[in-house]
Structure 1
């Protein structure tokens, strides 16, 4: 029996990863912060494996501990999917917003991984997949802090992979481009059309495509892929 923890499982990408992992036979710990209805609907849908939901605010240290305390089995696969963006000038951000975003996107993944690594090292096996962003590679105006923390997450992946590869653990990152989820709800149809025109494939990606990549990286078919940040962006960048 194998177990996976997916943070941010109530969002579009997180839900698709959970569905895909359930098909692979993973028993699931699904983390969420506010959208309990989304998690409950997902749990109702997933029939073939056991699922536990865990509520926690990962912009705080207490949230990390709530997840750690809720886990009662060794984790075989950790998917670091929680994250939040801020669109606007960096000079308009409050110090509190900066601190919360850094904790959510950098500190929490680090502390959560630190807490779950010992059992993986003991078992000489484990997979960690971090959901980054295209902006963590290229940078984006008006998303300076988001670009910064996702860039840090990419380096976290590369460094940790080197550290734990001798213990049989693989660490990789997925850097999505423009994906059709609720994160794009604030964009107008004109904005979306303009965005699609910039993407060589002429369309947005979908959450299922991201989930398929995460599932592949977590499988033995990717047994020699380690320390990589894999873009999924329709040749945009």
Structure 2
């Protein structure tokens, strides 16, 4: 049986790597994007090249809009069939002093990074509960574990994902559903675009393995946790950070 995965925020960075990793592993993949249709189409075409026998959907949907998330999941289930795996990856980041953070900044951060995971989980869970099987993966951050200066809103939203994942794992375990959280460290994605070469070098030096992480390293972790053989792992926060947070 071919498994189906739904990934939020799949057009760039970790999300794009996840789409390709799941395609490589033989999954049918549906993923959402919001602002980058060309990038989403390019990822979909790459997935088709990796596994021409798979089915791939790129669906425009704002992760922070419950109606759009619900519609995206419904379309996926209609076109691909039942979902075995959900990856809540959609997220935004902002570097800003806490005292300069506006109400709008705070609400948008929570809407995309935390509320979006709630909406996606709520949409897929009825089917997973009915089938007594599911894998849910939430992408947090090392700042959700430790907090990041000048990233208070982001840290709060990512910490919320950790609480959501742990609690949901307890609630859905009896239904054959595992829920785990991945907390990436400093990963070489578009979110690093504002950092200078000196900043990148300093971050690499601070990391025990002395380099930044790559999106594919997070994606391979997702595929591992999504596997049927990983059914005894649930409610965990797996730091993929090169030892920066231990």
Q: TM-score by structure 1 length?
A: 0.96
Contact 1:200 1:236 in 2 (8 A): yes
Which among 54, 57, 63 is matched to residue 62 of structure 2?
57
Contact 1:131 1:174 in 2 (8 A): yes
Matched, 1:199 2:207: yes
Deviation, 1:70, is 2.3
Distance 2:73 2:232 in 1: 29
Which among 144, 151, 155 is matched to residue 147 of structure 1?
155
Consecutive unaligned residues in structure 1, runs of 5 or more: none
Q: What is the aligned partner in structure 1 of residue 113 from structure 2? A: 105
* Deviation by residue 1:61-85 (Cα, 9 ceiling, x = unmatched): 3432332342223211000000011
Matched, 1:26 2:34: no
Distance 1:159 1:115 in 2: 17
Matched, 1:122 2:130: yes
Deviation, 1:162, is 0.4
Q: TM-score by structure 2 length?
A: 0.93
* Deviation by residue 1:145-199 (Cα, 9 ceiling, x = unmatched): 1110100100100000000010100100100000011110110001111111111
Secondary structure at the aligned position of 1:46 is classed as: helix
After superposition, the CA RMSD in angstroms is 1.2
**Would you say how many aligned residue pairs link Structure 1 and Structure 2?**
237
Contact 2:30 2:59 in 1 (8 A): yes
Contact 2:70 2:119 in 1 (8 A): no
Matched, 1:219 2:240: no
- Give the stretch that moved more between structures: 107-116 or 202-211: 107-116
- Give the stretch that moved more between structures: 141-150 or 219-228: 219-228
Q: What is the aligned partner in structure 2 of residue 4 from structure 1? A: 5
Deviation, 1:142, is 0.2
Distance 1:230 1:188 in 2: 28
Consecutive unaligned residues in structure 2, runs of 5 or more: none
Matches within 5 A, 1:174-185: 174-185=182-193
Q: What is the aligned partner in structure 2 of residue 66 from structure 1? A: 71
Secondary structure at the aligned position of 1:110 is classed as: helix
Contact 2:7 2:19 in 1 (8 A): yes
Distance 1:208 1:186 in 2: 21
Give the direction of change, closer, same or farther, for the CA distance of 1:58–1:173 in structure 2 (3 Å limit).
same
Moved runs in structure 1, 4+ residues, more than 6 A? none
Distance 1:94 1:67 in 2: 30
